[in-house]
A and B are shown apart, each in its own frame.
Chain A
Amino acid sequence: MSAPAEVLAVRGLTKRFPGVLALDDVTFTVRPGEVHALVGENGAGKSTLIKVLTGVYQPDQGELRYRGEPAVFGTPLRAQQAGISTIYQEVNLVPLMSVARNLYLGREPRTRLGLIDFGRMHREAERVLGDYGVRVDVRQPLRHLGVGAQQMVALARAVSVNARVVIMDEPTSSLEPREVETLFGVIRRLREQDIAVVYVSHRMEELYAVCDTVTVLRDGRHVHTGPLAETDRLTLVSLMLGRPLGEVGRQTTATPAGDHDGEPVLHAEGLTRPHQLRDVSLRIHPGEVLGLGGLLGSGRSETAKAIAGALPVTGGSVTVAGISVRTGSTPAAIRAGISLLPEDRKAEGIVPGLSVRENIALAALPRLSRFGLVHEARVDAVVETFMKRLRIKASSPHQKVGELSGGNQQKVLLARWLAMHPKVLLLDDPTRGIDVGAKAEVQKLIDELAEQGLGVLLISSDVEELISGSDRVVVLKDGAVVAELSGDDVTEDRLMRAIAAPTTAPDDTSPTIPTSPTSAEEAAVHGH
């Protein structure tokens, strides 16, 4: 067989879900050694296309060719055996199994007796993951790792099987800059080996950093394919949106720093939790966006969770507008006006089986009820407002949230918390997986909310977003506050330097990237 010009190709692909035409006559081809960007708005059909390519879904119409021959993949396993390896948008590993098992699932090293050779598996897993900058106990269950580390495990797994095509659906959405660099290194290595890579991301810089070709989908239709170098950012964005993006990025934050004197709306003092938080204190004034900087595992998510009562603390206090809040109780924190948009939207955010409507109304139910009966008209009003305001794309408010595209799920969660009219909003990576258009909208929304007197705590794996969006940045390292940047000091350079500065903490001097949440946190969330 002569080397085909394209390793994977689909023509005239159509996929329908009840009420949605997710893919409409899509053509998509990938050549060996090419890094092919697949872009489009939330709900454009990127993940669906990938799932059809890899046998998760069967197409309604269309032809799939793999290495020059017609192919049908009944299951993802078949696709994988054929050499198409995929990292899906939602991490698809087995949370209860050990990290090493996950890495080798289905191809475990065996002893001569045919039993799993755990010793070898653990040693190799440690070595492989070490290459990816993930240094953890590979015997612990996967769920004890943070989302970013889990993503790296998925990556290591996908790349270590013998693949001809590696598909990555938003692999960087929860990675830190350093890990993104590792990932790019891996991608370049794959390209040298003539392996094709399909790369989905909403982050423009990343596309331009690694991709050769770009395909744009809009509302399930193919609108453009071409060399990325010939398509500039603005063109790309307008191709995605079908309209020019009014303002790229946002204007500078409205309130100049220094305005925020007087009573803080949130005052957290001395939050402490063994191995995770060490005497973390911070204040947020009304109308202020406080950024929380630091590496993965530096305690940012833990700080947010501790403030929101979702993580018990052994010491410290939280005060909202001068009134002290009982720590360790989510309902108490919510009643006091604290809302948390959690990091792991799939496990801790959405309720997948309930509708968009019920998900949005979930936290606000007591307010939307009378005598324990849900006031449907009021729910409808709230749901309609937020679906419009955040442009949530769903076939109807009654569609199950589990069926929405990743970005739209995130918007539903944001709507849930905005519907609470909180005093303090803790946003743990709020624009994760959100498309460029919606990202600008969400950022604008955050600014607007701040102007209305809301205190916002912003965590973001996107450094640029953190810098441009925050009035002040508190930098965490190994669970302790190491620096505070305000005014003109809020720059990427300063932030990086604060993070890189040698730690003064005596108990942790290892240079590894700590991987966040631990079992204790998990236990707290599960309530037992």
Chain B
Amino acid sequence: MATDVVPRRGVPADRAQLVQWMQEYGVYLGVTVLLLFNVAFTDHFLSTENFRTQAVQVAPVLIVALGMALVIGTEGVDLSVGSVMALSTSLLSLYLGYGPLAALLVALVGGAAVGLANGALVAFVGVQPIVATLALMVGVRGLALVLLPQLEDVHDPTMATLGSGDLVGIPYVVLIAVALALLVAFAVRRTTFGRQLLAVGDSRPAAQLAGLPVRRVLIVVYVCSGVLAAVAGFLATARLSASDPTSLGNLMELSAITAVVVGGTSLSGGRVRIGGTVAGAALIQLLNATLIKHNLSPSWTQIAQAAVIVVAVYAARERGRR
């Protein structure tokens, strides 16, 4: 929590306002600049095919990032999301025999269970979120590999359609991601739960004394994160037509955190920006695509990503001061 009387180091009002504006809208500006750059300098950028590819690639990251945004809003973090995706794909592969719907349900229950464990550790035992979810990150990946030791093909017509089909030109995967983003945004803005979440993230002692169900809120948040990661795992499996618990979701937690932070959600809680998170995910995706299209090596991609994160964190840090 930021103190009231933090020094504000000789920043004139106009610069302060600029910084504030950048926090709010910088991510959208970034996306716009990248789009314009690509329109001007990248061949075949303005094709539907290209946009389709980009959107399909970013969809799972976005879905995971939605849950991450909620968790970060409570001043927590969920490192187990990548492993939940792996668990999800293992469960799918195991239960696909009962039909895709049953398999999906099992995968979602798996994700929820991991979320419940995370939430219980954080809310009842009082473990630091980073520690609790790190433990589950390791444990759940192991579980996924025990359930399904090696890569397995997934042959299911329904899942194949979901993975690569589309509705009036828009891939199902993307539609689902958009629908989920709208749903989460609605929950944050309009529901009692959303308000309580922000209050818990901003000042837990105050929320507690105001009689909010702090523990319940925390648990629900981690369960949401787990379920969303399971959905992402399901969609990724559908798209790849394969279950690969060894590699699926690797480093996903970092991509998701990046999208959230770049999107302007502060790591110190009390704020959730879904629009910004969507734009943040898009920004990272576009950045990578741009660098790849211009034949820069992957190491450059990583350096560029790091630069964007540094800028975002700097902006977020400025926000803490009044």
Contact = CB atoms under 8 A, between A and B. Distances in A.
A405 B195 CA distance: 23
Most chain B CB neighbours (cut-off 10 Å) among A16, A55, A77, A352:
A352
A56 to B, nearest CB: 6
A257 interface: no
B40 interface: no
Interface in B177-203: 190-196, 198-199, 202-203
A16 B322 contact: no
B192 A57 contact: no
A51 interface: yes
Nearest to B194: A374
Interface stretch (B1-9, B60-68, B152-160, B281-289): B1-9
A215 B130 CA distance: 51
Nearest to A526: B205
B209 A373 contact: no
A41 to B, nearest CB: 19
A369 interface: yes
Contacts of B204: 526-527
Contacts of B6: 56
A362 interface: yes
Contacts of B199: 351, 354, 358, 362
A373 B190 CA distance: 6
A133 interface: no
Contacts of B11: 58
A55 B202 contact: no
* Size bracket of the B interface: 35 or more
A354 B270 contact: yes
A372 B193 contact: yes
A470 B11 CA distance: 49
Given A58-B12, A365-B196, A373-B190, A354 B209 contact: no
A506 to B, nearest CB: 34
A525 B126 CA distance: 13
A350 B209 CA distance: 10
B8 A348 contact: no
Interface residues of A, number: 50
B10 interface: yes
Contacts of B203: 347, 350-353
Given A56-B8, A74-B10, A331 B209 contact: no
Contacts of B5: 51, 56, 76, 88, 90, 92
Contacts of A89: 4
A122 B154 CA distance: 68
Contacts of B208: 310, 330, 525-527
A358 B198 CA distance: 10
Interface stretch (B85-93, B135-143, B210-218, B247-255): B210-218
B311 interface: no
B239 interface: no
A347 B13 contact: no
B191 A351 contact: no
Given A351-B270, A354-B202, A369-B192, A330 B211 contact: yes
21 contacts: A16-B13, A56-B8, A74-B9, A76-B5, A89-B4, A330-B209, A331-B211, A331-B212, A331-B213, A348-B205, A348-B206, A349-B206, A349-B209, A353-B271, A358-B199, A363-B212, A365-B196, A374-B194, A416-B210, A527-B126, A527-B215
Interface of A: 16, 51, 55-58, 60, 74-77, 88-90, 92, 308, 310, 330-331, 333-335, 340, 342, 346-354, 358, 361-363, 365-366, 369, 372-374, 402-403, 416, 525-528
Interface of B: 1-13, 125-126, 190-196, 198-199, 202-215, 270-271, 322
Given A354-B198, A361-B195, 10 more contacts: A56-B6, A58-B13, A89-B4, A330-B210, A340-B209, A351-B198, A352-B203, A354-B270, A363-B211, A374-B191
* Closest 9 A/B residue pairs (Cβ): A528-B126, A334-B211, A74-B10, A353-B270, A353-B202, A75-B7, A369-B192, A363-B210, A92-B5
